[in-house]
A and B are shown apart, each in its own frame.
Chain A
Amino acid sequence: MKLTAEQVTVRAQQRTILDNASVTLEPGELVGLIGPNGAGKSTLLRSIIGSLPYSTGRVDLDGTPIMALTARQRARALAYLPQDRHVEWPLPSRAVVALGRYPHASGVGPAQPSDSEAVDRAMAAVGAAALADRSATVLSGGELTRVLLARALAVEAPLLLADEPIAGLDPFHQLHVMEILRATAHGGAGVLAVLHDLPLAMRFMDRVVLMHEGAVVANGTPGEVLTDENLERVYRVTARRGSADGVAYVLPWSRVG
């Protein structure tokens, strides 16, 4: 299943938040959506999942306009992990993850075995099987992120959109979540993740899409996009570079101007 967002424009209060932004996502690839604060990354994700109306442009799934699908079809095709990591009630973690099966369940009646297997798989994928009975409201930031990521994985959608999945996590959990995203992509899903961490984007992403002031300004491999010129123009920083284990890394070093 291929996702195509073409020339999406969003205006709010006479301001253009998204300016002809285009992005594609295919199964098996891990794509980073990067850019400074306010560049329109979250807005683009919200337009794609249909929670934000856009004035012009189109979002297609395999050539079908996404708004022509039913809410349930859309939910089965696109899993979405929002930035908001609030769980309202002290639900057991497993019940939180099981909500990912919402678009699959028919309604009343006990959960299908296939549903509970999908929940088990998702919890195992994020290493949260041991958290199953813990209440989601007492988990640490890293644990909660993994449980909510498992919730998104439990949808078993061909495409996953994650809004800043590693924000606020310590390095250990950042690496852990990045590895989970990579494993998800290798498992055949297309993953689009909003990211602020340039070194991790450089290391883990198959492709990065760079946004600036509502527009997509670069799209390609991390090496092609995270050039000194782009970093200086878009992020207003200079960077130090190096390589370790044969992999190039980039480190934002100082502000420009």
Chain B
Amino acid sequence: MIVRSYAGLLATLGCLVLLAFIASLAVGPSGVGLGELGNALRDGGGTGPVSLILWELRLPRALLGGLIGASLALAGACLQGYLRNPLAEPGIIGISSASALGAVIAIYTGLALRYPIALPLLAITGSVIAVLALQTLARAGNALTLILAGVAISSLCGALTSLALSMSPNPFASLEIVFWLLGSITDRSMTQVWLVTPFVIGGWVLLAMTARPLDALSLGTETAASLGVNMSRLRLLVTLGAACCVGAATAVSGVIGFVGLVVPHLLRPLVGYQPSRLLPASALGGAALLLGADVLVRLIATQNELKLGVVTALVGVPFFFYLVFRSRPAYGT
């Protein structure tokens, strides 16, 4: 695909999102045709089976796929620009597991049952703490300290999550949490869509405000500051924005990793490596990728539907290996 201009790239990605969204509405085990779905969409909240399938199953799933994919990729692109490290990805550096821990605490304590808003709020709190810890532990531009800090945070959150699970009085509840942790957007409802949308949109707004400062940051913190970038404000925007996006996404879908790694990496050369231009492109690309992957798990015939988080990890880990391999210092440079 030849993309000549930035606007053309965004338009192409936008079309991909639209196609993937329609595919996500159209594909499913019940084999309802597009025409019937279209009628149900026009009718609004009918009570027929097609209407139920559309409004209760397919639409929330497609909406969440788009929102979560865009949020994860946008957060990844933004963190990479801010930490000046192409390996910074919410899943790899522990933000996702910290949000998952927050969500598990909300579920485990029964808080989420009483106050549904507690689920995204605690997940976001978890990710705020993780991002702050990362910024303290990792030196900018240093891949090694970042990954090590991420490993430490992931391990700690994983251990605490396991602790919560092993102490759970109800084995079925634990099992449910374990499956939820694997990452999926199956069987979600419109309630969950409404629950996380404000946080996701809020996160997008905060991250959009980091676009130009991130460009200036390509020349290092000193130059950026001398150009008038307010570094502490930027840090706050990135922290809260990424935490809102990843926390809200994780609260409904569990851990879906590597979207924030693969998408910005593939798109970066197409936007001339400019961090600001990478943000909208990544958001669109992330939405298209996650919607596409979610259609794929429905098409692959297995006894139990594949978990989305498992699929993104299976694809993403080799990609991560490749990036790590490439980031080793080469001879002659």
Which residues of chain A are near B219, meaning CB under 8 Å? 86-88, 96, 99, 148, 151
Pick from B215, B220, B228, B229: contact of A86, CB under 8 Å: B220
Pick from A75, A89, A107: contact of B228, CB under 8 Å: A75
Q: Mark B254-280, 1 if CB is under 8 A from A, else 0.
A: 000000000000001000111100000
CB distance from A129 to the nearest CB of B (A): 18
B84 CB–A CB distance under 8 Å? yes
Chain A residue nearest in CB terms to B275: A89
Q: Mark A51-94, 1 if CB is under 8 A from B, else 0.
A: 10000000000000000001110111011101010111111100
Chain B residue nearest in CB terms to A94: B272
Which residues of chain B are near A100, meaning CB under 8 Å? 227
A124 CB–B CB distance under 8 Å? no
Which residues of chain B are near A92, meaning CB under 8 Å? 272-273
B116 CB–A CB distance under 8 Å? no
Which residues of chain B are near A86, meaning CB under 8 Å? 141, 219-220
CB distance from A216 to the nearest CB of B (A): 22
Most buried by A among B141, B218, B274: B218
A139 CB–B CB distance under 8 Å? no
CB-contacts of B217-240 with A (<8 A): 217-220, 222-223, 225-230
Which residues of chain B are near A82, meaning CB under 8 Å? 220, 222-223, 226
CB-contacts of B54-88 with A (<8 A): 84
CB distance from A147 to the nearest CB of B (A): 11
A91 in contact with B274 given A74-B228, A75-B226, A99-B227 (CB within 8 Å):
yes
B272 lies within 8 A of A78 (CB): no
A49 in contact with B226 given A88-B218, A107-B212 (CB within 8 Å):
yes
B216 CB–A CB distance under 8 Å? yes
Chain B residue nearest in CB terms to A72: B228
B218 lies within 8 A of A87 (CB): yes
CB distance from B237 to the nearest CB of A (A): 14
B228 lies within 8 A of A103 (CB): yes
Chain B residue nearest in CB terms to A161: B226
A1 CB–B CB distance under 8 Å? no
Which residues of chain A are near B215, meaning CB under 8 Å? 99, 102
A91 lies within 8 A of B84 (CB): no
A102 lies within 8 A of B222 (CB): no
Chain B residue nearest in CB terms to A100: B227
Chain B residue nearest in CB terms to A71: B228
Chain A residue nearest in CB terms to B233: A71
Which residues of chain B are near A88, meaning CB under 8 Å? 84, 141, 217-220
B226 lies within 8 A of A95 (CB): no
Q: How far is the CA of A76 from the CA of B230 in the complex (A)?
A: 14
B272 lies within 8 A of A99 (CB): no
Binding site for B on A (CB under 8 A): 46, 49-51, 70-72, 74-76, 78-80, 82, 84, 86-92, 95-96, 99-100, 102-103, 105, 107, 135, 148, 151, 155
Contact sample, A vs B, 22 pairs, CB 8 Å cutoff: A46-B222, A51-B225, A80-B223, A80-B226, A82-B220, A82-B226, A84-B220, A88-B84, A88-B218, A89-B268, A91-B274, A95-B274, A96-B219, A99-B215, A99-B216, A99-B223, A102-B229, A103-B228, A105-B212, A107-B212, A135-B273, A148-B219
Additional 19 contacts, C-beta under 8 A, given A96-B219, A148-B219:
A51-B222, A71-B228, A78-B226, A82-B222, A82-B226, A84-B220, A84-B223, A86-B220, A88-B141, A88-B217, A88-B218, A89-B218, A89-B273, A92-B273, A99-B215, A99-B216, A99-B223, A102-B215, A102-B227
